[in-house]
Amino acid sequence: MNLKSALSALLIGVTASVGVAHAQTVALKVETDKPGAKIDRQLFGQFAEHLGRGVYEGVWVGPDSPIPNTRGIRNDVVAALKDLRVPNVRWPGGCFADEYHWRNGIGPLKDRPATLNPNWGGVIEPNTFGTHEFMDFVQQIGAEAYISVNVGSGTPHEAADWFEYMTTAQPTALAKQRAANGHPEPYGISFMGIGNESWGCGGSMTPEEYAAQLRIYARYTRNYNADHPTLKIAVGPDSANTGYTEAVMKAWKERNWSWDIDGLSLHYYTVGAGWPPKFAATGFGEQEYATLINYTLRMNELLATHGAIMDKYDPEKKIALVVDEWGAWLAPTPGSKEGFLEQQNSVRDAIIAALNINIFARHADRVRMANIAQMVNVLQAMILTDQDKLVLTPSYHVFHMYVPFQDATFLPVTFDAGAYANGDIKLPKVDAIAAKGKDGKTWLALTNIDPTAPVQFELTTRAKRAAGKILSAPKIDSVNTFAAPATVAPKSFEARSSGNKIALKLPPHSVAVIALED
Ligand code: AHR
């Protein structure tokens, strides 16, 4: 045996010993001549609630902190989020928004009252991160502001004053107060959420009760900054529940000149069966993996169901369906504080993120905005922090890899890969979307859902080269930690065409985003 054959025998041995299953070949074609809707960049929005260590520690450390910061906002978190091109951040909640009184969060830090955060651990809310700090933060990361006003325990007057305070250029008492607090220029607020989960923590209102509140808040909470329009988003359905969808869309259809909205919110989390969430973030097996992927894919039928109701009242699709809370909600990290909703983030989360984004892209004509819950240290986070340390999660890497899909034009993809089965659960083996990017390139996002076998894509294309990143890891529950921050990290890869075909091999449980180039 010569050296070459000895080496290949060794390689075959290694391959066999790790038990890599045979890669199924999947033919795939991008229909470049059938462009669809724009995949709105706002679909890649984030959510930062005053919850656990999401805002305090995760974003705000205060100007006197030894952690490097700019006016109290951590520099490392800002740098990481800038790379994600975050389009918008939803704040201050969540359930917190319906107990938030904005006046507590303005003026000199030393004068701000300590209040309570009864929803999330009953901790003290120091109010040191308020309107000006939030606006500073979104400006530092280059995002737009999505502010949820308090409908549950506030008043229309309080919400109207907040928007006047933030947006008027006229020398009103509130504008002068804003100037005295350091911001003479009016702010531009792109999105206003009128309440949060008014069917639950936001006041347990019936759909009709909420519709009555909506008319009042949508009328009186005004944006006065003519240079920066504000889109208004109403509370909508909880998962499959259609009561709010019908009632709010009917109210909108029957509206008079005095009020209007631009969006209807939907909340749907990947929880698995039962409440409270009990699926572990790490140390899970293939069955738990398959179960949660299955729950994730329900997003598709939810968007179809609510979209069909919206079509009845709004065939022109003027009102956007805004999925402003989504993601995996798992059992909390053992030992973490109750109510802080801290959880690790694994390769499974990366796949959950990719599949949700793919589903939003397929419904992009109606679904034009979304916010993953939540940005830092809470639920399916982009970033985890511990004191001065920071780690980027697998979900972060998916959002980063998908940046070229922001404002790209959807292109249909044809493929038939068959199913991956686990017990009674049958899932598609792979998922794929494509789009024409603003850079003129054709972009492909491929997910190998199968946790047991690689897949070999055979792409029919005129392109000469495919280049991009693959996110993969040894196990379905591989995570990044402060000690090992790059266990799940994207790797570059490139493939060249042969004839009119390009072959792309994806390992089990992996996500790839690639550009096709001539
Ligand atoms: O994201 C955590 C919580 O989930 C939000 O505060 C609430 O809106 C939802 O129930």
What digits encode the pLDDT tens for the residues 428-476? 999 999 999 999 999 999 999 999 999 999 999 999 999 999 999 999 9
> Of the residues 325, 342, 494, 517, which is catalytic?
325
DSSP, collapsed to helix, strand or coil, labels residue 60 as strand
Range of the domain at 474: 3-37+410-517
Phi, psi of 497 (to 5 degrees): -80, 155
Q: What is the pLDDT of residue 31?
A: 96
Strand partners, 515: 443, 467
For residue 307, the surrounding DSSP H or E stretch is: helix 286-313
Hunting for tokens 């990361």 — which residue is that?
A: 141
DSSP label of 238: B
Q: How far is the CA of 90 from the centre of ligand 1 (A)?
A: 12
Q: Is residue 171, in this structure, part of any structural domain at all?
A: no
Does position 197 have pLDDT exceeding 80, yes or no?
yes
User: Is residue 340 over pLDDT 60?
Assistant: yes
Whose alpha carbon is nearest atom 7 of ligand 1? 94
* 391, 507: one domain: no
Supply the residue whose CA is at minimum distance from atom 6 of ligand 1. Answer: 94
**Whether 442 and 365 share a structural domain:** no
Over residues 501-518, the mean pLDDT reads 96
Residues 319 and 442 in one domain: no
| Burial of residue 411 (number of CB atoms within 10 Å: 0-12, 13-18, 19+) | buried
Let me know whether 313 and 423 are in one domain. no
> If you measure from the C-alpha of residue 319 to the centroid of ligand 1, how many angstroms do you get, rounded to a whole number?
23
pLDDT computed for residue 41 by the predictor: 98
Has residue 198 got a pLDDT over 70? yes
Measuring from atom 2 of ligand 1, which residue has the nearest CA?
A: 94
Question: Which of 95, 120, 380 to mutate to test ligand 1, by most ligand atoms within 8 A of the CB atom?
Answer: 95
Confidence of residue 418 (pLDDT cuts 50, 70, 90): confident
pLDDT tens across 89-135, in order?
A: 999 999 999 999 999 999 999 999 999 999 999 999 999 999 999 99
- Please report whether residue 441 resides in a domain: yes
CA pair distance 48, 53, nearest whole angstrom:
10
Cis, peptide link before residue 94, omega less than 30° from 0: yes
**Same domain (yes/no): 352, 377:** yes
Closest atom of ligand 1 to CA, residue 196 = 8
Given the CA of residue 200, which atom of ligand 1 is nearest to it? 10
User: Looking at the structure, do residues 353 and 493 belong to the same domain, yes or no?
Assistant: no
For residue 169, being part of any structural domain is answered with no
d(CA 364, CA 53): 32
Among 348, 371, 406, the domain-final residue is 406
Cα 220 to ligand 1 centroid, rounded to whole Å: 26
Q: Any idea what the CATH number is for the domain that residue 425 is in?
A: 2.60.40.1180
- Using most ligand atoms within 8 A of CB, pick from 53, 325, 340, 372 the residue to mutate for ligand 1: 325
Say whether both 437 and 289 belong to one domain: no
- What is the average pLDDT score of the chain? 95
Q: For the chain, what's the residue count?
A: 518
Q: Which is the catalytic residue, given 49, 197, 288, 342?
A: 197
What confidence score (pLDDT) does residue 13 get?
27
User: Is pLDDT of 12 > 60?
Assistant: no
Beta bridge partners of 115: 125
Which of 358, 375, 406 delimits the end of a domain? Answer: 406
Nearest CA to ligand 1 atom 8: 94
H/E run at residue 448: strand 442-448
Determine which residue's CA is closest to atom 3 belonging to ligand 1.
94
The beta strands (E) that lie in 210-354 are given as 231-234, 263-270, 320-328
Amino acid identity at 8: S
Among 384, 406, 428, the domain-final residue is: 406
pLDDT at 24: 86
For residues 62 and 79, state if they share a domain. Answer: yes
Does residue 93 sit in the same domain as residue 11?
A: no
Q: Is 254 a catalytic residue?
A: no
Do 424 and 500 lie in one domain? The reply is yes
In a domain, 108, yes or no: no
Q: Is the pLDDT of residue 496 over 80?
A: yes
Q: Are residues 364 and 385 in the same domain?
A: yes
**Ligand 1 center–CA 11 separation, angstroms:** 50
Whether 264 is covered by a domain: the verdict is yes
Asked about 325 being catalytic, the answer comes back as yes
Neighbouring CB atoms inside 10 A of 343's CB total 26
Residue 495 resides in a domain: yes
Q: Does 166 fall in a domain?
A: no
Residue 416 pLDDT class (50, 70, 90 cuts): confident
Residue carrying the six token digits 């959420």: 193
User: Number of structural domains, the chain?
Assistant: 2
- Assessment of whether the complete model's pTM goes beyond 0.85: yes
Residues lining ligand 1, Cβ inside 6 A: 49, 93-95, 196-197, 325, 373-374, 379
CA-nearest residue for atom 4, ligand 1, is: 94
Instruction: Give the distance (Å) from ligand 1 centre to CA of residue 106.
Output: 24
Structural domain includes residue 168: no
Q: Are residues 17 and 134 in the same domain?
A: no
Q: What is the CATH number of the domain that holds 323?
A: 3.20.20.80
pLDDT value at residue 21: 64
Which atom of ligand 1 is closest in space to residue 325's alpha carbon?
Answer: 1
Q: How does pLDDT run across 255-283, given as a tens digit for each residue?
A: 999 999 999 999 999 999 889 999 999 99
Burial class (CB in 10 A: 0-12, 13-18, 19+), 124: exposed
